[in-house]
Amino acid sequence: MKKNLFIVFIAVAAICFGHQAKAQVKPTATSGPVTVNINLTDAISITLGADPTVNFDYLTAADYAASKTVTKASHFTVISNKPYNLSVTAMGTFQPAGGPDLDIVTVNVPASTANGGTPVPNVPLSTTASALVNGSTASKGAIYTVEYTISDPASLLNLTGSTYNTTVTYTATQQ
């Protein structure tokens, strides 16, 4: 029996010593180059505010005796990745025909909302593009206030009671 026990002991010892503990070899860390591109395209946009319509209301005799200014806060927003200029153009004369001359209305951007640019004061409406702000800085959302003024309503006298309108377009052009 001692012999059998000795054989079992030898067998167990052989099994235990036969399995050697080996350290695991981790793979060597490697790296590869990765290219990161930032592809830019010149981008510019104008978005009109919630209420873009400008109304000059002449309802009483006193209205015809003084200048009127309609201020449109947050009139439009410009997004541009480069400096830009703003211009204003009337798409046509006031309709219906026989209405006032376009230049009765002047447009002004207060310096406080010119986004670092130089505003041109009191720009009369015209069918030719007219500079409104020069050299505005690049922006992810410049908000413009615009003042529309009729300084001398005398040319409104003798006109038929009606609503006279034209369409005004603002253009932002990158420098």
Number of domains in the chain: 1
Residue 109 located in a structural domain: yes
Q: How confident is the model at residue 29 (pLDDT cuts 50, 70, 90)?
A: confident
74 three-class SS: strand
Residue 95 located in a structural domain: yes
Residue 90 located in a structural domain: yes
Residue 104 located in a structural domain: yes
Residue 18 located in a structural domain: no
Q: For residues 173 and 175, what is the distance between their CA atoms, to the nearest angstrom?
A: 6
Q: For residues 45 and 80, what is the distance between their CA atoms, to the nearest angstrom?
A: 7
Residue 4 located in a structural domain: no
Tokens encoding 145: 């206030």
Query: Which residue type occupies 61?
Result: A
**What mean pLDDT is predicted for residues 70-99?**
97
Residue 143 located in a structural domain: yes
pLDDT tens by residue, 125-141: 999 999 999 999 999 99
Q: How confident is the model at residue 173 (pLDDT cuts 50, 70, 90)?
A: very high
pLDDT at 17 over 80: no
**Owning domain of residue 92:** 44-158+165-174
Q: How confident is the model at residue 160 (pLDDT cuts 50, 70, 90)?
A: very high
161 three-class SS: coil
Q: How confident is the model at residue 27 (pLDDT cuts 50, 70, 90)?
A: confident
Residue 83 located in a structural domain: yes
